[in-house]
Amino acid sequence: MLQAALLLLLAPQSPTTGLVEIPAGRTLVGGDLKDYKKLMASKPGVAQQLGADTPRSQVDVASFAIAPTEVTNEMYSRYVEATGAQPPVTWLVISKEERNAIIQEMQKEDPSWIFEGLKKSKWWDEHWQDEGMKWEMAPEIATSPVVGISHDDAREYCKWAGLRLPTEEEWVRAARGDSDQSWPYGDEFDRKLVACTMTQPRNLSFKLLPVNSMPENSSSYGIVDLCGNAWEWTDSRFNPLPGFKSFKIKGKDGKPITILPPFDGSAPVIRGGAFNMPDYGTSVDRRHGIFNIARLEFVGFRVASSLNACTNALLYATDVIDARILGATVEEGLDFSATIGLEKRQFADLDSIAAARKAPEQGLPNPTPPEAYAIFDGYSCIGLTPVKAINESSIAKLSKNTTREGPIPVGVLHSTVPLSEPNLVPGTWILSYQGELKAAEITKTGARSTEGEVPPEGFEAPENWPDYSDLTLAPKTEYIIFVAPDSNRALAAIPLSSKAGMGTAKKAPHKMIINKDRGSIDFEFRALDQRGRKAFTFRLPVKPISKGADLISETAWDGSNFEIKEPVPEEG
């Protein structure tokens, strides 16, 4: 009989290549109301928009990582080439004659149509795949921020790269840190440091510049271009800042103006201002909300990352989950802070990428990107996020309830690689615990029994149960059921490696094991009980597969947040 040796490796590490780690701390978010009232009184035409930047409050921000620059055209090009995603309209290659022909054709239905702004973007959405349409990422703009990118586009890029967009609180912390500065570099606007309408020298104003063109426009963490050049998408919504209440200011004519900004919780927040904004429009506190599908030639994005493996991937992968199947919204039901998993982020060779660049058009700077700059080139992961709580007080009650009311969600698994056990293509699944069933109970769920019993003719599944018709279950065996995230259909069932358990929340195991003994990755995870003092524990083995790679290996994944279980030869 083989004996197995368990080697515990070091604590989790966060792979932050291409990113800068920002320490946790308290950050001032929002503009000072007294100062803003003066600004709004002098600019009543934009007073309502400016009011959304207030009031100021202190916000605790956990540690995270963020890119030193916006995503550049050469970075986005790797994503477009790898996935076939729609390129930005700024890459369109078109002659003057072709442009005029398009304008003439479009003006037949709309005499006011122009080949600019949102109308140009909409035309590109409809025609970018037309036969003969030409586009390319011009090497002259390789290190300029990619713009004309919607919020949806930015999130898809992040999924591909294993990253996410920053929240606006994180964005502000990266820009301001522990200070109260209005710009990343200091308190006063400096037209030599910010790309906007007032930039000096004047030949650089109203222009999108390569990243790091003004290296002194940097935060204390070395993050450049947060203010000016291009607006940046965040993952926050355009809701009032904490403590906001409508207020009045006096306009230039002395009449009171009630400030009630056009908040819209469906619109993501953009931050930082752009090359087409005046000085006050580029401060750290400036925020605005626009529709997530908008593709504008002055809006780009910057990527960020949680420091725990796979958290970014699970945050975005769970977009597909139907709250009715999970039993709660994703935000309410899942504990993303407890995500565990294995991941691997790929990077392109920066030297070869740099060799393909060309100097920008005459008169524009030709800077070198900052030291932390890197070109992301794809991502692989397999990760699990547990539910925040299971509303039962014991294993016995939990198991019993699954025989009466159906399996109980305990987490979500996401994998970018196919699995052999269970046999599933890459995807996202709700993990539900199914307690032990007798043979007769199995057929009542709609599943087949390993002992030969099948559901009777005319069988109707119990209300609210997943569709078990594709499952074969063994009596008196505990399972994790893989449920489709949007159709409440059971796709697979995997027996637990050991019986579900329960212990104190602090001591409950929550880790991954690369199990070379059985060729699996074992998730030993916990989900808290309703009081948060104890935790249910489950051990789920899965077997990932990949062509030409051994995924049951410590070298297949980044980080060291796992254990290795090695088989030891039998003695004698």
Last residue of a domain, one of 82, 103, 134: 134
Residue 477 reports pLDDT greater than 50: yes
Residue 280: pLDDT band with limits 50, 70, 90: very high
Residue 229 lies in a domain: yes
Q: What is the CATH number of the domain that holds 222?
A: 3.90.1580.10
**Residue 9 clears pLDDT 80, i.e. is over it:** no
Kindly write down the DSSP assignment for every residue of 46-76, as one continuous string: GHHHHHTT---EEEEE--EEE-SSPPBHHHH
Q: Minimal CA–CA distance to 520: which of 570, 567, 569?
A: 567
Q: Are residues 407 and 539 in the same domain?
A: yes
- Strand bridging mode 299-301 / 231-238: parallel
Per the structure, the complete domain to which residue 266 belongs is given by 21-71+144-307
What local confidence, expressed as pLDDT, does residue 549 receive? 78
Check whether residue 167 and residue 54 sit in a common domain.
yes
**Same domain (yes/no): 557, 432:** yes
Model pLDDT, residue 15: 63
What pLDDT is stored for residue 2 in this prediction? 33
Q: Is the pLDDT of residue 303 over 60?
A: yes
Q: Is residue 264 within a helix (H) or strand (E), and if so which, with residue range?
A: strand 264-271
Closest among 379, 537, 409 to 483, alpha carbons compared: 409
Enter the tokens of residue 338. Answer: 């407890």
Paired strand residues for 390? 529
Q: Evaluate if pTM is beyond 0.85.
A: yes
pLDDT digits over 172-187, tens only? 999 999 999 999 999 9
99 and 191 both lie in a single domain: no
- Buried b / exposed e along 194-223 (16+ C-beta atoms within 10 A): bbbbbbeeeebeebbbbbbbbbebbbebeb
Flag whether pLDDT at 259 surpasses 80.
yes
Considering the domain architecture, whether residues 253 and 172 belong to the same structural domain is answered as: yes
- 410 DSSP assignment: E
pLDDT at residue 8, as a whole number: 40
The whole-number pLDDT of residue 570 equals 66
pLDDT of amino acid 442: 92
pLDDT at 572: 53
**190/153 same-domain check:** yes
Residue 545's SS3 state is coil
- 1 pLDDT band, cuts 50/70/90, is very low
Question: How confident is the model over 130-159, as pLDDT tens digits?
Answer: 999 999 999 999 999 999 999 999 999 999
Contact 433, 478 (CB under 8 A): yes
Same domain, 67 and 186: yes
Same domain, 289 and 429: no
> Which residue has better confidence, 458 or 117?
117
Where residue 255 falls among pLDDT bands split at 50, 70, 90? confident
Q: Is the pLDDT of residue 209 over 50?
A: yes
Structure tokens at 217: 């426009």
The reply to whether 40 falls in a domain is yes
Task: Tell whether omega for the bond before 15 is within 30 degrees of 0, i.e. cis.
Answer: no
Cα–Cα distance between 154 and 401 in angstroms, integer? 42
Whether pLDDT at 7 is above 60: no
Residues 256 and 109 in one domain: no
| Element of type H or E holding 414 | strand 408-415
157 and 316 Cβ atoms separated by less than 8 Å: no
Q: 215, 370 in Cβ contact below 8 A? A: yes
Cβ atoms of residues 483 and 460 within 8 Å: no
End position of a domain, from candidates 307, 336, 362: 307
Q: Residue 507: which residues within 8 A CB-CB, separation 6 or more?
A: none
According to DSSP, residue 391 is labeled S
Q: Report the pLDDT averaged over residues 225-248.
A: 97
Indicate the average pLDDT of the chain. 93
Position 507: which residue type? K
In this structure, of 5-14, 153-162, 171-180, 207-216, the range with the lowest mean pLDDT score is: 5-14
Q: Rank 283-292, 457-466, 510-519 by mean pLDDT and report only the highest.
A: 283-292
- Encoded amino acid at 369, one letter: P
Give yes or no: residues 212 and 245 share one domain: yes
- In this structure, are residues 446 and 440 in contact, taking their beta carbons and an 8 Å threshold? no
* Distances in whole angstroms, Cα of residue 54 to Cα of each of 33, 50, 293, 423: 6, 8, 26, 52
Per-residue confidence at 5, pLDDT binned at 50, 70, 90? Answer: very low
Residues 80, 572: Cα–Cα separation, whole Å: 58
420 and 494 housed in the same domain: yes
Q: What integer is the mean pLDDT of 44-52?
A: 95
What letter represents residue 186's amino acid?
Answer: G
Mean pLDDT of 270-274: 98
Q: Token pair 């046999």 is at which residue?
A: 423
Cβ atoms of 470 and 493 within 8 Å: the answer is: no
Residue 515 lies in a domain: yes
SS3 for 221-260 is CCCECCCCCCEEEEEEEECCCCCCCCEEEECCCCCEEEEC
Confirm if 144 and 196 have CB atoms less than 8 A apart. Answer: no
Distance CA 410, CA 499 (A): 15
- In this prediction, residues 389-418 reach a mean pLDDT of 94
Q: Give the pLDDT score at 302.
A: 98
Total domains present in the chain: 3
pLDDT at 13: 43
Answer whether the bond into residue 422 is a cis peptide, omega within 30°: yes
Residue 227 sits in the same domain as residue 277: yes
